A and B are shown apart, each in its own frame.
Chain A
């Protein structure tokens, strides 16, 4: 048993080790992306300062908390956004899915491993952004290691919740060959209900309850609230249980959906 697990782990590690190499093949984009993100942050900070010009708190958050939250959201949201929908769409359209299904590994586990690895690679890549935000844009990070621990833990679990959610969306690609629109809608919904644009606390009660009923906030709002000083570390236990429940539910559902969807496959051409 242990031997089998170790063997599997080695295979998945091979996939994981590939992620940074693939990423570095596109290093020109890293620079461009970096500049764009700084511009976005500047715009967001200016916007929220203007909003707070005539008030001291909004939804229970002061200007410092909000700016902290928004800057972190800008940095973290791209980390947990998987490209599964467009990836599946492309694979099915081009017929690459045939090749990927031929690899002797669990299809979903392999993508989960790659997704977690990208999370780490991207997190490292975003460090300069954090430093810049801290030095020039007013990002204040906590010194309490517990807050960082809570953030890291809930980020990893949350990213997996989002991965599984995306997986279900991506499986729609097996039924419709057009996934571009689906991807755009998904990103818009996930960004808004994940709390990447507006802190959930500022949403009207009904909208907020929708956001909390959806999985998207698990990957963005939940983890960054620990770092932004919005959620106290004492809430960690309850939040982790919630994330685990999401993981179990979505884990089962996504496997069932995939098993059905993959039967639909029509590899075009060839």
Chain B
């Protein structure tokens, strides 16, 4: 049973096009020129209960706009969106009761109040029974380490502390669906780990459905078996992370350290040279057409090799490829 379903979801913003300078400002005031921008363009997907889905794309791709439509804050220009069987905008309050959202760069807590006050208020707004509230606070303690935060006002918290507080406040009413918009942005590795552990725990322990947008591919690799990639408002991939890795991971890089100069070397078949340093040779090859050992053999025949290493592409470089237009390879394979 899908808990989130979007169909041909589209949001078009009308923006005033302004030329630079005072003259441009005046012109825009007198006779504004409008331009329609499709922030989200006919995006359809379904997310089942208990999934963690990574929603990725470059800045301005339409991730946040989608989330805002899913939470009922923005009204779609066309297409439809359903969350837990409701239209999130029309039934905003009913929807809000069952979802939670963290916008990494904003806070839902009261800036000047100690965290405990904010949290208690959130608990009361969502009508969490007092006993349950205390229980959850205890449950969250291990992963989030709340006790050291309770009496600090939000404005005095570090980024990492703030995000821990934010997550606790978002999950204190045990929402069925949680949207996390860049929850690890700007955090150090340790803090990131903590946040990821917590998300995983909530997903496994309570079956919380999570839609996660992030630029941090570590988040994706560790948390999301499935990703949806969006670019310029359009959905360009929806499927398992493994498929992406496989399709885009066809290329390998092999690097040789040599005692002699590598300039005169004749390249083996089916590979291209990447780095051009005198005592180092980096070759890129398609592993479906040749193998590392064939290449290594060809190189070692010509030159004395001191050392060599083989690198598998990481998700970051794969995603970079996709963003840069390499998507055609997966376009024909949408999730059915």
Are A101's CB and B92's CB within 8 A? yes
Are A11's CB and B125's CB within 8 A? yes
Among B82-124, those with CB < 8 Å from A are 92-94, 96-97, 99, 101, 103, 105-108, 110, 112-113, 117, 121, 124
With most chain B CB atoms within 10 A of its CB, the pick from A25, A102, A106, A265 is: A102
Whole-angstrom distance between the Cβ of A87 and the nearest chain B Cβ: 14
Confirm or deny: A39 has a beta carbon within 8 angstroms of a beta carbon on chain B. no
Q: How many angstroms between the C-alpha atoms of A47 and B106 in the bound complex? A: 48
Query: Which chain A positions have C-beta within 8 A of B73?
Result: 97-98, 101-102, 265, 267
Are A98's CB and B75's CB within 8 A? no
Among A1-48, those with CB < 8 Å from B are 7, 10-11, 14-15, 17-18, 21-22, 25-26
Are B125's CB and A105's CB within 8 A? yes
Query: Which chain A positions have C-beta within 8 A of B126?
Result: 104
Q: How many angstroms between the C-alpha atoms of A106 and B96 in the bound complex? A: 11
Confirm or deny: B68 has a beta carbon within 8 angstroms of a beta carbon on chain A. yes
Are A102's CB and B71's CB within 8 A? yes
Among A91-145, those with CB < 8 Å from B are 94-99, 101-106
Determine which of A10, A104, A267 lies in contact with B96 in the assembled complex, contact meaning CB atoms within 8 Å.
A104
Are B96's CB and A102's CB within 8 A? yes
Confirm or deny: A266 has a beta carbon within 8 angstroms of a beta carbon on chain B. yes
Query: Which chain B positions have C-beta within 8 A of A18?
Result: 110, 113, 117, 121
Query: Which chain B positions have C-beta within 8 A of A7?
Result: 127
Confirm or deny: B51 has a beta carbon within 8 angstroms of a beta carbon on chain A. no
Determine which of A15, A22, A102 lies in contact with B108 in the assembled complex, contact meaning CB atoms within 8 Å.
A102
Whole-angstrom distance between the Cβ of A173 and the nearest chain B Cβ: 15
Asked whether A99 and B106 contact (CB < 8 A) given A22-B113, A270-B64, the answer is yes
- Count how many chain A residues have C-beta atoms less than 8 Å from C-beta atoms of the other chain: 29
Determine which of A26, A99, A103 lies in contact with B125 in the assembled complex, contact meaning CB atoms within 8 Å.
A103
Asked whether A102 and B125 contact (CB < 8 A) given A22-B113, A270-B106, the answer is no
Asked whether A267 and B121 contact (CB < 8 A) given A21-B113, A22-B110, A102-B101, the answer is no
Confirm or deny: B183 has a beta carbon within 8 angstroms of a beta carbon on chain A. no
Are A270's CB and B71's CB within 8 A? no
Asked whether A10 and B106 contact (CB < 8 A) given A101-B72, A102-B71, A102-B96, the answer is no
Q: How many angstroms between the C-alpha atoms of A155 and B154 in the bound complex? A: 36
Asked whether A106 and B93 contact (CB < 8 A) given A95-B106, A270-B103, A270-B106, the answer is yes
Q: Closest chain A residue to B99 by CB distance?
A: A102
Determine which of B97, B103, B113 lies in contact with A104 in the assembled complex, contact meaning CB atoms within 8 Å.
B97
Asked whether A10 and B113 contact (CB < 8 A) given A96-B106, A99-B108, the answer is no
Q: How many angstroms between the C-alpha atoms of A194 and B106 in the bound complex? A: 37
Whole-angstrom distance between the Cβ of A25 and the nearest chain B Cβ: 4
Determine which of B92, B101, B124 lies in contact with A10 in the assembled complex, contact meaning CB atoms within 8 Å.
B124
Are B125's CB and A14's CB within 8 A? yes
Whole-angstrom distance between the Cβ of A234 and the nearest chain B Cβ: 44
Are A263's CB and B124's CB within 8 A? no
A/B interface sample: 18 pairs, CB < 8 A? A10-B124, A11-B124, A17-B121, A18-B113, A18-B117, A22-B110, A22-B113, A94-B106, A95-B106, A98-B73, A99-B103, A99-B108, A102-B101, A103-B96, A103-B125, A104-B94, A105-B93, A105-B125
A-B complex: 9 closest residue pairs judged by Cβ atoms:
A14-B124, A104-B96, A25-B112, A104-B97, A99-B108, A98-B73, A270-B64, A101-B73, A263-B75
| Residues of chain B whose beta carbon lies under 8 Å from any beta carbon of chain A | 13, 64, 68, 71-75, 92-94, 96-97, 99, 101, 103, 105-108, 110, 112-113, 117, 121, 124-127, 181
